[in-house]
Amino acid sequence: MNSTTHSSGRSYAEVYRQSAECPEEFWLAAAEAVEWEKPPTRALDDSAALTYRWFPDAALNTCFNALDRHVRDGHGDRTALIYDSAMARAASGTYTYAQLLDEVSRFAGVLVEQGVSTGDRVIIYMPMIPEAVIAMLACARIGAVHSVVFGGFAANELATRIDDAGPIVLVTASGGLEPGRIVEYLPIVEKAMKLSSTPPQTVIVKDRQQIPGSAADYQGRTSAWLDWDALIAVASPTQPVPVAATDPLYILYTSGTTGKPKGVIRDNGGHAVALTWSMRNIYGIGPGDVWWTASDVGWVVGHSYIVYGPLLAGATSVLYEGKPVGTPDAGAFWRVISDHGVSALFTAPTAIRAIRKADPDAREIAKHDISSLKALFVAGERLDPDTYAWATRILDRPVVDHWWQTETGWAICANLRGLQPLPIKAGSPTVPVPGYRVEVLDDNGNPLPAGTEGSIVIALPLPPGALAGLWRDPERYSREYLTKFDGYYLTGDSGYIDEDGYVFVLGRSDDVINVAGHRLSTGSFEAVVAGHPAVAECAVVGVRDELKGQRPAGYVVLKAGVDIDPETLRRELVAMVRDQIGPVAAFRDVTVVPALPKTRSGKILRKTVRQIVDGEKFTVPSTIEDVAVLEILEKQLRS
């Protein structure tokens, strides 16, 4: 392996060994990079079985660490946030640390005026505008718990999250901007409020001039609808409120195999320590560097590396409202790098595949100066070797895959560019990050030899920054993650570790599919599809897609005697999914089949269906009810 090491002189192997053998010492040292109201005297509390807490006797404020301390230390004029809107260029601009602190402290005052206090929840349903970042940090400032809901979700998805989180306030905007269209948020919010059994008492609306609708249009309908600008104009700045390190910072909902979203809880202390450590050691980013994560604040990547990570590190974060292609062309990413002197870009492989599809010869890149770029980081789904090779060739820079989950909050496996850059192997996110003890087990929980595929697991305890449980559902947390293999966290992914210790992640081993980096439950799709009056039963699986990694495909059995044109059925089902889950679902494939293969207990063999569609070899399960169904399906789908 490459012998280059960080300026500290310590190699990856040395640092990893310390994290595994002396975690108390390792994480207390890492915690020194965070400013505490009450410093920790211990790192890990393992007194409760399976429930681990980091820095149990400490207190801090995450917003203070992200903003106030940089201003106090004389860096208030440093750029904190660059807002680059390909959709509304006139609205683009920058915020220094001092300016962002002022906006955040005043919106924190707005929330306090609306009755929000420490521990209360606030739903944030926003497009990619600075106010989304401001709202998140304002919650952290007063110890409130934010739950950001991706702006592409439909009303019933938003309502489900409202009911689970129980927010006092919902913060939104008049809408989002997409290439060639606008998305009005306020009708969606109003519908969600009507669907919710516990709607918030207040809705705060940031009015965007490009989009019709304002808070005034909804006064007197449901709850109190208030205007962001009017409130913040008269708000008093609010000081940061210290909270326990173990108190929740946010809830972020991720798809579950049952279709009901899971509220991943992130704590304050472990989160701040882990992200601060990761910015320097994984990404090699520090104060003054320009860091761009091309994601959305509604996803975990946006939480960790648009908002919190870069600001905790004192870096400059780019907030981009646009697409990799079509805003206006396939050179959009290169333009942003050139305009802002971006040091490192973090995005999903889907974005790179979209650019490659639109500009296979990379002619657009020559039009922009990207000399500031040191590396491209990708995550969210597997980086296929072809995309890796193309990006490496056109950029002539390291293209670094790394692997993590909503639940972990930061990378499980990575090539630690700030600690010791290692040789890159196509198809692998490289090695376990210090703090993560990654193993591969067979179905009986036995360790597998190098190169043998099995379930990828992480030995407990998970490191700081990983989930602290599921909101209001500890039993589900234990059932879905901790009980299959004693002493391990189940990632839900399958793969292997090679003889050099490199991890290869091959795909999901459960019924959650990954569409362009967005994890979506097949159960959610099936609940919608099954609601069509013509459908008797259905299966939705994630099939291979050149652009998105996976796409949802529906296979439906019609009710007896039903006569419906397949294209009409497809259009109606696509419309239903779009209405109830949202455009992010990217659902468009529907195939009518005579029957679905099942086990004797009635479980649909979704994995086998996916393997048939993808042209993979498959083994006929010994528990199959009727093998003839499988033979008919194979003939139909592979003809």
- Please name every residue paired with 44 in a beta bridge, in sequence order, or none if there are none: 54
pLDDT exceeds 90 at position 561: no
- Classify 507 in phi/psi space as left (phi over 0), alpha (psi -120 to 50) or beta: left
Torsion over CA: 116, 119, 120, 121 (sign)? positive
Alpha helices in 465-561 (DSSP H): 474-477, 522-529
Reference 116, options 186, 187, 165, 189; nearest CA is 165
Average pLDDT over residues 484-513: 89
Query: Is residue 410 over pLDDT 90?
Result: yes
Alpha-carbon torsion (386, 387, 390, 391), positive or negative: negative
CATH homologous superfamily for 512-637?
Answer: ANL, C-terminal domain (3.30.300.30)
Rg of the chain (C-alpha set): 24
Q: Which residue type occupies 55?
A: F
The pLDDT of 621-626, averaged and rounded, is 73
pLDDT in tens, 299-330: 999 999 999 999 999 999 999 999 999 999 99
Q: How far apart are CA 148 and CA 125, in angstroms?
A: 6
Q: Which residue has the tokens 């106030």?
A: 68
Spatial distance between the Cα atoms of 366 and 133, rounded to a whole number of angstroms: 33
CA–CA distance, 394 with 372 (Å, rounded to integer): 15
Question: The domain at 438-508 falls in which architecture?
Answer: Roll (2.30)
At residue 14, does pLDDT exceed 50?
yes
Question: What integer is the mean pLDDT of 106-131?
Answer: 98
Confidence tier at 386 by pLDDT (50, 70, 90): confident
Sign of CA dihedral 430, 26, 119, 129: negative
pLDDT digit string, tens, across residues 163-203 = 999 999 999 999 999 888 899 999 999 999 999 999 999 99
Q: How far apart are CA 426 and CA 510, in angstroms?
A: 24
Reported as half-sphere exposure (CB side, CA atoms, 13 A), residue 397 has a value of 13
Residue 621 vs residue 60, higher pLDDT? 60
Tell me the residue length of the chain: 639
Mean of the pLDDT values across residues 359-365? 94
Token pair, residue 414, equals 């990575």
State how far the Cα of 414 lies from the Cα of 405, in Å rounded to an integer: 13
Question: pLDDT tens digit string along 421-468?
Answer: 999 999 999 999 999 999 999 989 999 999 998 899 999 999 999 999
Task: Report which secondary-structure segment, H or E, holds 616.
Answer: none
Can you give the pLDDT at residue 5? 39
365 or 619, higher pLDDT: 365
DSSP label of 71: I
Given a contact cutoff of 8 angstroms between Cβ atoms, the answer to whether 321 and 347 are in contact is: no
In the predicted model, is pLDDT for residue 610 greater than 50? yes
Tell me the pLDDT of the chain averaged across its residues: 92
Averaged pLDDT for residues 251-268: 83
Question: Is residue 48 over pLDDT 90?
Answer: no
**DSSP-derived pairing of the beta strands 535-545 and 549-558:** antiparallel
The answer to whether the bond into 199 is cis (omega within 30° of 0) is: no
Q: What percentage of residues in the chain have a pLDDT greater than 90?
A: 75
Cα(616)–Cα(608) distance, integer angstroms: 9
Q: Confidence band (pLDDT; 50, 70, 90) for 546?
A: confident
Q: Which residues contact 573 (CB under 8 A, 6 or more apart)?
A: 528, 529, 532, 535, 554, 556, 587, 590
Query: Which sequence spans correspond to the domains of the chain?
Result: 438-508, 512-637
Kindly tell me if the per-residue pLDDT of 1 is higher than 50. Answer: no
Question: Which pLDDT score is estimated for 549?
Answer: 82
**Confidence bin at 518 (pLDDT 50/70/90):** confident
Secondary structure (DSSP) of 305-328: IIIIHHHHTT-EEEEEES-SSSSS
The whole-model pTM stands at: 0.88
With beta carbons less than 8 A apart as the criterion, state whether 592 and 616 touch.
no
Decide: residue 105, CB within 10 A, 0-12 exposed, 13-18 middle, 19+ buried: buried
Residue 287 CA: distances (Å) to CA of 80, 279, 416: 10, 10, 18
Per-residue pLDDT of 232-250, as tens digits, reads 999 999 999 999 999 999 9
For helices 155-165 and 186-195, angle between their N-to-C axes, nearest 10 degrees: 50
What is the reported pLDDT for 625? Answer: 75
For residues 464 and 462, what is the distance between their CA atoms, to the nearest angstrom?
Answer: 7
Alpha helices in 11-81 (DSSP H): 12-21, 23-30, 62-63, 69-70
Where residue 600 falls among pLDDT bands split at 50, 70, 90?
low
Q: Which amino acid is at 440?
A: V
Mean predicted confidence (pLDDT) in 393-412 = 97
Q: What is the pLDDT of residue 607?
A: 85
Q: What is the pLDDT of residues 210-228, one digit of tens each?
A: 999 999 999 877 789 999 9
In tens, the pLDDT along 80-111 reads 999 999 999 889 999 999 999 999 999 999 99
CB 186 within 8 A of CB 172: yes
pLDDT value at residue 2: 36
